[in-house]
Structure 1
Amino acid sequence: MATIVVFGGTGFTGSNVVREASARGHQVVSVSRSVPDDPIPGVRYETGDAEQVAERVIPGADAVVAAISPRGDMSGRLVEVYRELARQSAAAGARYIQVGGFSSLRPAQGAPRFVEGDIPQEFRDEALEGEATRALLAEEAPEDLDWVFVSPAASYGAGVAGERTSGFRVGDDIALFDEEGGSNISGADFAAAIVDEIERPTRHRAHMSVAY
């Protein structure tokens, strides 16, 4: 079994990844600002600033999942923080899985990414910061870092948490839609796709999308 470190481990995506990885028998370390009200038995919870905690939890890890939300005091700092997590992951020889947003995907091969078009103002800053973290990996990642940037479907998040179905699809940087034109994924299935990729790598230094 692998040792998996999840940054943002108490957020929506991170907590689902922690739960999924732990259920599969992996050794899981959750990093966040606080301990959850209902901790999962067997999971090691570390609290504090991500960059500082990273120094003691990334060495020895097999995989690092970066799922920090660019909100609150992390707004405007995500590129800086992820650059350090990527650097330390490369130094430790750990696989690095970084979670981004739907807007970093393209509607079709060769088309501009959604973030390059019209995005509602209330979502624009977060979308731009998420895209900047993708560009960080594509343009600046250490040469020896095995990274994957993962984008969920358009309809994803705590407000539409959904249930696990295990019927999801994975793709590259092209958005996936169902027959009705919808783009959806539950938190549990998105986490399952991430842990699947850790257990059975299919992509290296690449963008991955997950949707039904």
Structure 2
Amino acid sequence: MTRISIVGGTGYAGGHIAREAVSRGHEVTSWSRHEPTEPLDGVTYRTGSLADPDVLAEAARADQLVVAVHGADVDGRPLSALTPGLIDAAVAQGTRLSFVGGAGSSYVAEGGPRLVDTPDFHEEWKPEALSHADVLAELRAAPAELQWFYVSPAALFGSYAPGEATGEYRTGGDVLVTQEDGSSEISGADFATAFVDEIERVAHPNQRFTVGH
């Protein structure tokens, strides 16, 4: 059994990860700014902000610290501004740090460009995508003693497009996972399966990987 703290555990991605992790017998604590409207059996819920150093220190006292929050706004600050503190807390506790990243920093083909840099990427999505890209850069420059991974979902991922839970997924490196018709999507349940698989298997140590159907 692994002790897993999920910051943002009541959100779309974090909630799916919590559900999947509990179903496998892991000990899960969810941290969020508000109590859940539909709590999951077996999950311990705590309230607090990632911007609070005391909350961060307590959340990091686990085997795995999962960050599943909005990239552009964590109590008025971009997630990238809080990443150094997350890295320090994880190193101090010997905790493996992981992020639900964005699709925007994924390459659309080997060598680029990034999805966020393509002409059709919506301007209103860029602040979050670029903050998530900065988080990834911080991780890649982190001290060698940090254990981490970062998962970028397919382009179509979120509560607005829940998709179908197939029990299957495909992974890539830095390139967006697409299907033969060029579409790129992943359901919340299948993304969570991939995420918890990585927690258990450590198949991508200190790497970003992409996930899609």
TM-score range, shorter chain: over 0.9
* Deviation (angstroms), 1:115: 2.3
Q: Secondary structure at the match of 2:140?
A: helix
Letter in 2 for 1:101: G
What is the TM-score of this pair, normalised by structure 1? 0.93
Aligned residues: 210
Q: Distance in 1 between matches of 2:90 and 2:183?
A: 35
Aligned to 1:180: 181
Please list, as runs of the form range in 1=range in 2, the aligned pairs for 1:23-42 lying within 5 A after superposition: 23-42=23-42
**Structure 2: unaligned runs, 5 residues or longer:** none
Q: Secondary structure at the match of 1:135?
A: helix
* Residue 168 to residue 9, structure 1, CA distance change in 2 (3 Å): same
* Residue 71 to residue 132, structure 1, CA distance change in 2 (3 Å): closer
Quote the sequence identity (%). Answer: 40
Aligned to 1:22: 22
* Deviation (angstroms), 1:96: 1.3
Q: Distance in 2 between matches of 1:14 and 1:83?
A: 21
* Deviation (angstroms), 1:161: 1.0
Would you say 1:135 and 2:134 are equivalent positions? Answer: no
Would you say 1:110 and 2:149 are equivalent positions? Answer: no
Letter in 1 for 2:184: S
Would you say 1:64 and 2:65 are equivalent positions? Answer: yes
Q: Secondary structure at the match of 2:151?
A: strand
* Residue 72 to residue 110, structure 1, CA distance change in 2 (3 Å): closer
Q: Distance in 1 between matches of 2:59 and 2:176?
A: 33
Q: Distance in 1 between matches of 2:78 and 2:113?
A: 25
Q: Distance in 2 between matches of 1:12 and 1:75?
A: 20
- Answer with 95-104 or 25-34: which moved more: 95-104
* Deviation (angstroms), 1:135: 1.2
Q: Distance in 2 between matches of 1:9 and 1:201?
A: 21
Q: Is the 8 A contact 2:59 2:65 kept in 1?
A: no
Of Structure 1 and Structure 2, the greater helix share is in: 1
* Deviation (angstroms), 1:73: 4.9
Q: Secondary structure at the match of 1:158?
A: coil
- The correspondence for 1:126, drawn from 113, 125, 128, is 128
Aligned to 2:49: 49
RMSD: 1.5
- Answer with 170-179 or 105-114: which moved more: 105-114
Aligned to 2:98: 97
Letter in 2 for 1:39: P
Q: Is the 8 A contact 1:153 1:211 kept in 2?
A: yes
* Residue 3 to residue 69, structure 1, CA distance change in 2 (3 Å): same
Aligned to 1:193: 194
Q: Secondary structure at the match of 2:163?
A: coil
Q: Is the 8 A contact 1:162 1:185 kept in 2?
A: yes
Q: Secondary structure at the match of 1:31?
A: strand
Q: Distance in 1 between matches of 2:199 and 2:167?
A: 16
**Structure 1: unaligned runs, 5 residues or longer:** none
Q: Secondary structure at the match of 1:101?
A: coil
Q: Distance in 2 between matches of 1:17 and 1:181?
A: 27
Aligned to 2:83: 82
Aligned to 1:171: 172
